[in-house]
Amino acid sequence: MNRKRLKFYIYYFLIFVLLFIAVSNQVQAAPSVSSQKAILMDQETGRVLFEKDAHTRSRIASITKIMTAILAVESGKLEQDVTVSSNAAGTEGSSLYLKAGEKIKLEDLVYGLMLRSGNDGAVAIAEHVGGSLEGFVYMMNEKSKEIGMENTHFANPHGLDDHEGHYSTAYDMALLTKYSMGNERYREIAGTKVHTAPNPEEKWDRKWRNKNRLLTELYKYSTGGKTGYTKLAKRTLVSTASKDGENLIAVTLNGPDDWNDHMDLFEYGFKEYDYKIVLNKGKINKMEDDVYKNHVFLKRESVLSLTDEEVEEVRVEYRMLKPDEGWLKNKQAPDIVGKAVVYLDDKEADSLPVYFKRESPKEKEKSWWKFWAFSIESIIGVRDHG
């Protein structure tokens, strides 16, 4: 073999090796999950960090109860006593063993719903908060529209396989969890390992331990979630985790090894992504127009969940109204004069309103006196001679 041909083979072998390493690193970085459908979402920004068939409609089993719980929490009735109906007491499946006619605080029912997945508790909550089962289901679907769950329809408050028209997606359930985790009371309930509730008809109190093993024993960064299982839906799981100020949501549907799926997803998210401030709140300095210069500002920061490599790919575009010099004289200046659009990979990742700062009468008076003080100092030479 001549030297020229040898160099040719060595060259292409090195290229092959480099490509193999690059592909291997990408494969290793992305988690492998057993679940048919899965998603990892950043809780603060809503950015999807990983997905697998996340928009296909599926049965969801007891993770339905996240919606039931947040509606109960938002009802403002947690301190009220609920009278358990015979319809609620007779609900099949996982149970709190409620008795028809007994009274129990709504707050305790929500704990039993989230920790022990009580189907009887779900119906009791629905009847009390919604006035009827049908009324509560209507509330569930209205709330799902409000949140933006476009591929979801609820037919009951517990997730049993008694309706064909009861479904959601991994993405929609992540949206619901993001919304719910914004409520402090919900976060507290979902993250509780054990809850004790009074049981007046017995000599002992009810004691419910959370079925979420990620929270109770497996994953130290777990902050809550909800388990689910039916014969048709198989294993479903929603969980949340926090590490070093980063908050993530994982959802898996039909996942035979869901505990490990969630831990792998979280570890991937915590390792690969971090919060980065891409726009600071306050005065915007990058304005060339005299009307906008030193007069426009942002009221909040723009924070994205990014890999180190993605930081350089972020760009900001300002879309502003046509400036009017009269605004500087407080002539009908609008509060919002444009928006700052943050792009990642040429896709809109965030949008912030740009505000115009009007000069207050006190600031105008102060500016007027500063002008005359400066003029007098110049005339008498103070600024020249000190």
Distance CA 129, CA 76 (A): 9
- Pair (280, 206) in one structural domain: no
Q: What is the pLDDT of residue 382?
A: 44
pLDDT digits (tens, 9 = 90+) for 239-265: 999 999 999 999 999 999 999 999 999
- Pair (168, 59) in one structural domain: yes
- Pair (304, 192) in one structural domain: no
- Is 244 within a domain? no
- Is 310 within a domain? yes
Distance CA 192, CA 216 (A): 9
Q: What is the pLDDT of residue 200?
A: 76
Q: What is the pLDDT of residue 294?
A: 87
8 Å CB contact between 194 and 207: yes
Give ∠ CA 240-280-43 in degrees, rounded to 5. 10
- Pair (185, 282) in one structural domain: no
Q: What is the pLDDT of residue 26?
A: 44
- Of residues 37, 65, 211, 234, which has the active-site annotation? 65
Between 27 and 31, name the one with better pLDDT: 31
- Of residues 117, 168, 239, 305, which has the active-site annotation? 117
- Is 98 within a domain? yes
- Pair (179, 60) in one structural domain: yes
Closest CA to 161 of 212, 93, 207: 93
For the chain, what is the mean pLDDT?
Answer: 88
- pLDDT band at 1, cuts 50/70/90? low
Tell me which of 225, 245, 260 is where a domain ends: 225
Residue 329: CATH number of its domain:
2.30.140.30
The DSSP letter of residue 105 is E
And the tokens for 69? 């719980």
Q: What is the pLDDT of residue 385?
A: 41
- pLDDT band at 346, cuts 50/70/90? confident
8 Å CB contact between 48 and 40: yes
- Pair (70, 202) in one structural domain: yes
8 Å CB contact between 48 and 171: yes
The DSSP letter of residue 214 is I
Residue 144 scores a pLDDT above 90:
yes
- Of residues 35, 58, 62, 94, which has the active-site annotation? 62
Which of the residue ranges 133-137, 145-149, 273-277, 285-289 would you say has the lowest mean pLDDT?
Answer: 285-289
For residue 303, give its domain range: 276-362
Q: What is the pLDDT of residue 37?
A: 98
Q: What is the pLDDT of residue 328?
A: 78
Q: What is the pLDDT of residue 174?
A: 98
Helix (H) or strand (E) holding 227: strand 222-230
Residue 95 scores a pLDDT above 50:
yes
- Pair (198, 282) in one structural domain: no
- Is 252 within a domain? no
Which residues, 6+ apart, have CB-to-CB distance to 310 below 8 Å? Answer: 344, 345
The percentage of the chain sitting over the pLDDT mark of 70, rounded to a whole number, equals: 85
Angle between helices 106-116 and 119-130 (to 10 degrees): 140
8 Å CB contact between 74 and 97: no
Residue 142: CATH number of its domain:
3.40.710.10
- Pair (90, 212) in one structural domain: yes
Q: What is the pLDDT of residue 27?
A: 40
The percentage of the chain sitting over the pLDDT mark of 90, rounded to a whole number, equals: 74
- pLDDT band at 35, cuts 50/70/90? very high
- Pair (191, 299) in one structural domain: no
Residue 11's alpha-carbon distances to 1, 6, 16, 18, 271, in angstroms, are 15, 9, 9, 11, 34
- Pair (216, 305) in one structural domain: no
Residue 22 scores a pLDDT above 50:
no
Count other C-beta atoms under 10 Å from residue 242's C-beta: 17
- Pair (89, 153) in one structural domain: yes
8 Å CB contact between 292 and 243: no
**DSSP codes, 228-278:** EEETTTEEEEEEEEEETTEEEEEEEES-TTHHHHHHHHHHHHHHH-EEEEE
Tokens 């590490």: give the residue. 243
- pLDDT band at 288, cuts 50/70/90? confident
Across 87-96, average pLDDT: 95
**3-state SS class at 123:** helix
Q: What is the pLDDT of residue 326?
A: 82
Backbone phi and psi for residue 30, each to the nearest 5 degrees, phi listed first: -80, 130
Q: Which residues face 340 on adjacent strands?
A: 318, 352
What is the domain count for the chain? 2
Across 143-150, average pLDDT: 98
Between 381 and 349, name the one with better pLDDT: 349
Tokens 């002008």: give the residue. 371
Q: What is the pLDDT of residue 199?
A: 87
- Is 73 within a domain? yes
- Pair (148, 288) in one structural domain: no
Across 8-28, average pLDDT: 52
- Is 373 within a domain? no
Instruction: Confirm whether 77 is a catalytic residue.
Output: no
- Is 266 within a domain? no
Residue 374 scores a pLDDT above 90:
no
Residue 160 scores a pLDDT above 50:
yes
Q: What is the pLDDT of residue 28?
A: 44
Q: What is the pLDDT of residue 15?
A: 60
Between 268 and 287, name the one with better pLDDT: 268
Instruction: Confirm whether 62 is a catalytic residue.
Output: yes
- Is 179 within a domain? yes
pLDDT digits (tens, 9 = 90+) for 182-203: 999 999 999 999 999 988 777 7
Q: What is the pLDDT of residue 245?
A: 93
- pLDDT band at 376, cuts 50/70/90? low
Between 293 and 249, name the one with better pLDDT: 249
Q: What is the pLDDT of residue 19?
A: 57
Which of the residue ranges 84-93, 220-229, 288-297, 322-331 would you say has the lowest mean pLDDT?
Answer: 322-331
CA torsion angle 102 104 108 109 (round to 10): 50
Q: Which residues face 226 on adjacent strands?
A: 238
**3-state SS class at 323:** coil
